[in-house]
Amino acid sequence: MSDNGLKKQSVGLIGLVGMIYAMTAAGAYGIEDMISSSGPGMTIIMLFVLPIIWAFPIALASCELGSAIPDECGFYRWVQRALGEFWGFQIGWLKNIGIYINVAVFVVLSTDYLASYLGLNNLQSYICKIIIIGVFTWINLRGVKDVAIVSSIISGAILVAFAGIAIIGFIHFSHNPFEPVVATGQTVVGSIGSSIAIGMWMYAGYESMSSLAGEVKDPQMIPKAIIIALPLIIGTYVLPTVASLGAIGQWDKWGSEGVSYVNVAMQFAPAFGVAFVMVAFISNISMFNVYLASGARGFFVMAEDNLAPKALVKCDKKRGVPYVAIISLSVVSLILCAFKFDILVTIVSLFNLGLYSLIMISQIVLRRKEPDLPRPYRIKMGKVGTDIFCAVPVVVAFIALYINGADYFVMGLLGMISGPIAYIIFKKIYGGLYKNDPEKYPINEKTKLAVGDTKRISFSFGLLAVLMIIGRLFLPGYEDHAYYAEAYGVDNMFDILMMLVTVGAAVCAVLAVIFGVLYNKTESKEAING
């Protein structure tokens, strides 16, 4: 780690657990929409299954990688070390753009809860958003230790609130929470598709603590904190959901604008219901608080590598925090918080698919590339077992890309296309790792990209083209075309989406060929030997 101005701070195990819990859970808010869209039974099943096939592998891989490479913005360093500068930039881009959107998600969600209870109009809600962003920007400018203290307090309140909902629900249990398993009119696959995006979003964020590893005096505590936090998160999701459905039923009316956990409290314990609304508000601003902390440090490290504006590395001399990056996140949040919650969540979920796939692939690669690298925490499943364990989330991400819907698919691929394009631009403007160490990271003098980049870029565009072709063949037979006409108010909306996929596949295929030709002409053995 370079001498960049970031200061080591003492953060205890409880503080780290609080930060992880706040970042990855902060309550079961959002599950309400899963219940009505996919069915109560499928929702509960997914809440149990996703930790096994998604969250747990990602959490343990983050433990191993974080303990072996305890640097700020760990996930970026992991991929960079395993796969090189280009792929390191891709995960940094996906994660940090996702965080810029995610910080606004929680501002919007927290304000929506408060607005519904107090009857705030749009102007009053936006003023509330401005206040939230301002207060927690100030907290983050004070340093990581203060963030940990605040997160631990808020996480404790969330646990108490949802424990209360679970107790109230089980006391008044009168409905079968598993009926129906699948929502009316849904197939099993369709039901899974309706819930998997929200579920993956609910079980995300474990890698983000690696962003702070460079500032924590004992980064080896992070794996311990993750393992402690995961069961708490599962319990926070499953127990209140089962209890609430058992108490009031009405599964088809659940959602962000309908029945929720608040109704359970208000129906059986009104005073507690008021407190629960307040905790709902506080829990979501805690998510904003911690994502603001980790997100600021994500672009900080990329700027150090000359792959983002240098202004982002400026630190406060007294507290050693990257104040420019924190302020930039806050400004973007002020803009994005004008959008609706569901729109922002959908976009965030798209970026997570490529992000987590790269982390798990890097885990597999580093086990082979650097077998002797000290790993204070190590996944103990044997070579083949670990490979399968780490490959499962990649398969889940691939499936999720296709079964969530054509609009989801199109936005996801557009997000992934932006990564290689952004890399080419920033590499040419700022120089990348070559500028720090020309001998270790040589460039192709003809393209001004890193040696081998033309081949990597060709592969990435080729992969995107293949994914789009698969989608073009699969989606017409899988999707309900009438849904898109109703949802978007355009009769041929599905056809428009498929046209975008077709054009996107063609463009990516052409770019793959162009960069492949560049590689053959400038970097292949034949070109070098002349």
The answer on pLDDT for 176 being more than 80 is yes
pTM of the model: 0.84
The chain-wide mean pLDDT, for the chain, equals 84
Comparing 237 with 285, the larger pLDDT belongs to 237
In a domain, 9, yes or no: no
Q: What is the pLDDT of residues 291-322, one digit of tens each?
A: 777 666 667 778 889 998 877 767 777 767 77
d(Cα 227, Cα 60) in Å, to the nearest integer?
A: 8
Q: Is 158 a residue whose pLDDT tops 60? A: yes
Query: Do residues 309 and 437 lie in contact, with contact meaning Cβ atoms separated by under 8 Å?
Result: no
Helix (H, G, I), strand (E, B) or coil at 4: coil
Question: Which of 404, 420, 454 is the C-terminal boundary of a domain?
Answer: 404
Is the CB of residue 209 less than 8 Å from the CB of residue 20? yes
Lookup result for tokens 């793959």: 512
Q: What does the alpha-carbon distance between residue 139 and residue 189 come to, in Å, rounded to a whole number? A: 44
Show which of 351, 384, 404 is a domain's final residue: 404
Instruction: Confirm whether 513 is domain-assigned.
Output: yes
Give the whole-angstrom CA distance, residue 72 versus residue 321: 12
Structural domain that includes position 229: 15-404
What pLDDT was estimated at residue 286?
A: 73
Say yes or no to pLDDT of 3 above 60: no
- 404 pLDDT exceeds 70? yes
Residue 182 in tokens: 């699948």
pLDDT over threshold 60, residue 7: no
Q: Are residues 270 and 192 in the same domain?
A: yes
Listed residues 384, 404, 424: the one ending a domain: 404
Q: Are residues 227 and 367 in the same domain?
A: yes
CA 87, 402, 31: angle at the middle one, nearest 5? Answer: 95
Structure tokens at 360: 């798990």
Residue 390 parent element (H or E): helix 382-403
Q: Is the pLDDT of residue 256 over 70?
A: no
Mean pLDDT of 205-231: 69
Per-residue pLDDT, 2: 44
- In contact, 112 and 341? CB cutoff 8 Å: yes
> pLDDT band for position 149 (50/70/90)?
low
**141 and 264 share one domain:** yes
Instruction: With respect to residue 135, please indicate whether it lies within any of the assigned structural domains.
Output: yes
pLDDT band for position 284 (50/70/90)?
confident
pLDDT in tens, 65-89: 887 887 766 788 899 999 999 999 9
The pLDDT assigned to 10 comes to: 62
pLDDT at position 13: 77
- The better pLDDT of the pair 431, 108 is held by 431
pLDDT of amino acid 88? 94
The domain tally of the chain equals 2
pLDDT of residue 185: 81
Position 232 in a domain: yes
Tell me: do 277 and 367 sit in the same domain.
yes
Whole-angstrom distance, CA of residue 427 vs CA of residue 122: 42
Is pLDDT above 80 for 53? yes
Q: Is residue 7 part of a domain?
A: no
| Pair (186, 146) in one structural domain | yes
Would residue 4 count as lying in a domain?
no
Residue 4 is predicted with a pLDDT of 47
How large is the average pLDDT for residues 136-140? 79
Q: Which residue has the higher pLDDT, 206 or 443?
A: 443
Which whole number is the average pLDDT over 227-244?
89
| pLDDT recorded at residue 472 | 95
* Range scoring the smallest mean pLDDT among 34-38, 67-71, 475-479: 67-71
Give the pLDDT confidence score for residue 496 in this predicted structure.
95
% of the chain with per-residue pLDDT over 70: 88
Do 387 and 414 share a domain, yes or no?
no
Residues 6 or more apart in contact with residue 503 via CB below 8 angstroms: none
CA distance 303 to 280: 35
CATH number at residue 270: 1.20.1740.10
Task: Please enumerate in sequence order all residues whose Cβ is within 8 A of that of 429, keeping only pairs 6 or more positions apart, or say none.
Answer: none
Q: Is residue 5 part of a domain?
A: no
Same domain membership, residue 451 and residue 387 = no
Give residue 464's pLDDT band: very low, low, confident or very high (50, 70, 90). very high
pLDDT confidence of residue 325: 77
Residue type, 209: M
* Per-residue DSSP letter, 53: I
143 occurs within a structural domain: yes
Tell whether the model's pLDDT for residue 168 goes beyond 80: yes
Same domain, 56 and 97: yes
Query: How much is the pLDDT for 41?
Result: 94
Higher pLDDT, 265 or 67: 265
Question: Does 374 lie in the same domain as 431?
Answer: no
- Give the per-residue pLDDT at 519: 93
Same domain, 318 and 443: no
Q: Are residues 383 and 507 in the same domain?
A: no
Identify whether residues 344 and 448 lie together within a single domain.
no
